[in-house]
């Protein structure tokens, strides 16, 4: 299967697939004319990568996970450790964003948003204490 086919089947852009080969995540064969040829295992691995990336794992996490995926003698504890760390990172990011959201939401609500220049958003950003 050529790269467009692999792209359609996995949902990954062809550019991304080439990039994954570049950085050594997959090693598709080449046809005589130089075209990449994706076999079942390649397609499996690409699907795996697509799912892992969709869950927010970094490329390096994906590399490790894919290695474990292909290693029949892995210990599931290794997988769990990676996933747990990532889960904690996600939870921290959510907390950060929620803090931002609360502040921003208050500011947006308090701004009348008309032609007049006075604006609590700018006042707050400028360092004024709010009350």
Partner DNA sequence: CCTTGACCTTCCTGTAACTGGAAGGCCTAT
Partner DNA sequence: ATAGGCCTTCCAGTTACAGGAAGGTCAAGG
**Residues forming the site for its own copies (CB under 8 A):** 44, 47-48, 51-52, 54-56, 65, 68-69, 71-77, 79-81, 83-84, 86-87, 90-91, 93-94, 97-98, 100-101, 103-105, 107-108, 111-119, 121-122, 124-127
Q: Which of 39, 58, 103, 110 binds DNA (CB under 7 A)?
A: 58
**Do the Cβ atoms of 36 and 73 come closer than 8 Å?**
no
Cα torsion angle, 66, 67, 71, 74, sign: negative
Q: How far is the CB of 71 from its own copies (least distance, A)?
A: 8
| DSSP secondary structure string for all residues of 57-73 | --HHHHHHHHHHHH-TT
Q: Three-state DSSP class for 30?
A: strand
Does an H or E element contain 36, and which? strand 36-37
Pick the piece of the chain touching DNA (CB under 7 A) from 16-24, 40-48, 96-104, 105-113.
16-24
Judged by the rule CB under 7 A, the positions of this chain that interact with DNA are: 2-5, 13-16, 18-19, 32-36, 53, 58-60
């Amino acid at each position: 299967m050529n790269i467009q086919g692999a792209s359609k089947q996995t949902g990954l852009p062809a550019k991304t697939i080439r990039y994954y080969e570049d950085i050594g995540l997959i090693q598709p064969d080449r046809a005589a004319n130089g075209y990449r040829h994706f076999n079942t295992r390649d397609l499996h691995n690409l699907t795996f990568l697509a799912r892992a990336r969709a869950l927010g794992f970094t490329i390096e996490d994906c590399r490790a996970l894919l290695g474990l995926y292909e290693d029949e003698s892995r210990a599931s504890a290794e997988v769990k450790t990676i996933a747990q760390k990532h889960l904690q990172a996600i939870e921290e990011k959510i907390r950060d964003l929620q803090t931002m959201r609360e502040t921003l939401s208050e500011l947006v609500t308090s701004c009348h948003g008309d032609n007049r220049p006075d604006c609590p958003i700018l006042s707050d950003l400028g360092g004024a204490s709010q009350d």
